[in-house]
Structure 1
């Protein structure tokens, strides 16, 4: 039997990176593979959709797939959207196509197809569209503010008094709105 050699110890240990790795770098390969399976040769289209087409269009659409024709002249981009948004988006398709082609650097997309869906999306992807912002509540009436101020009057700590006054306004406005519903 030959004697065993001691393991070689390198002078500098091999390290992947110093500190934390950015999440994008960790997921880059998985995003690329998933994107290529759906036809996205440039994953930037998926990851930076809002930057490419703008916030207003991105809030209403999601890129689903890119299909290539047999003859190889131009691809078809399929976008997922809500049914109510489709007519307005249909008018914007030439501008969306120009923005997407600018991302690719050449006229890669020749056609865009809109696929309409319900707000919850398909079972596979469950596309999430950003909901409309909640409407702001009307300010409380001066009488309601006065009642809330009187309720919190006896407390010495100003922070506690302000919190109790806000709580009283919320409770009183809720009871007022319920009373209006019962009458109407």
Structure 2
């Protein structure tokens, strides 16, 4: 038995070898592909793309879009290229320092050393349309009178008017969802 090597204990991995059972969020399925696509354009932090308005503010985000990040030969001092409406470029040129500070705060260190502005027409460019403002959220239709009456009946037994109003609103939401699901099943 002297020629036999001792058995190694099994290694415990943080990630399972098989997929979850049941529903798996689409974001988890696509996370690796999104990361690779973002890194091909220089975006090691995809949050810069997905939360651009939160990072730089609504007023700047309405006029700009991050296009790519180009790193220097040594890996330090990257250049962020922003797509900008032509008329907004002079004002944004003066705000480059502020934009740079906000983007570096997103990274957690001074990743961006310079910002380059690329001007475009507000209607788009050769590859497709450059959307500078997000589409407005669709407003929900008001609840039907029957649904409001049912919600009012549900919350009627409570004495506190604030609590009653909150429960009535909750009942409206629950009842409208159940009606929508019933319509989907019929159609």
Q: How does 1:26-175 map to 2 (within 5 A)?
A: 26-130=29-133
Number of residue pairs matched by the alignment: 119
Task: Give the one of 20, 25, 36 matched to 1:16.
Answer: 20
CA deviation string 1:41-78 (max 9, x = no partner):
11111111111111111111110000111233300000
Secondary structure in 2 matching 1:85:
helix
Secondary structure in 1 matching 2:87:
coil
Change in Cα spacing, 1:45 to 1:125, as seen in structure 2 (3 Å) is farther
Distance 1:120 1:57 in 2: 18
Secondary structure in 2 matching 1:114:
strand
Distance 1:41 1:107 in 2: 14
CA deviation string 1:89-142 (max 9, x = no partner):
1111111100100111100000000000012323225321128x9xxxxxxxxx
Change in Cα spacing, 1:63 to 1:73, as seen in structure 2 (3 Å) is same
User: Under a length normalisation based on structure 2, what TM-score does the superposition of the two structures give?
Assistant: 0.57
- CA drift of 1:18 comes to 4.4
User: Under a length normalisation based on structure 1, what TM-score does the superposition of the two structures give?
Assistant: 0.58
Secondary structure in 1 matching 2:74:
coil
Q: After the TM superposition, which segments of 4 or more aligned residues of structure 1 sit over 6 Å from their partners? A: none
Change in Cα spacing, 1:18 to 1:63, as seen in structure 2 (3 Å) is same
Q: Which has the larger radius of gyration?
A: 1
Secondary structure in 1 matching 2:69:
strand
Backbone CA RMSD of aligned residues: 2.3
Consecutive unaligned residues in structure 2, runs of 5 or more: 1-17, 137-187
Consecutive unaligned residues in structure 1, runs of 5 or more: 1-13, 134-184
Distance 1:15 1:37 in 2: 27
Distance 1:24 1:98 in 2: 29
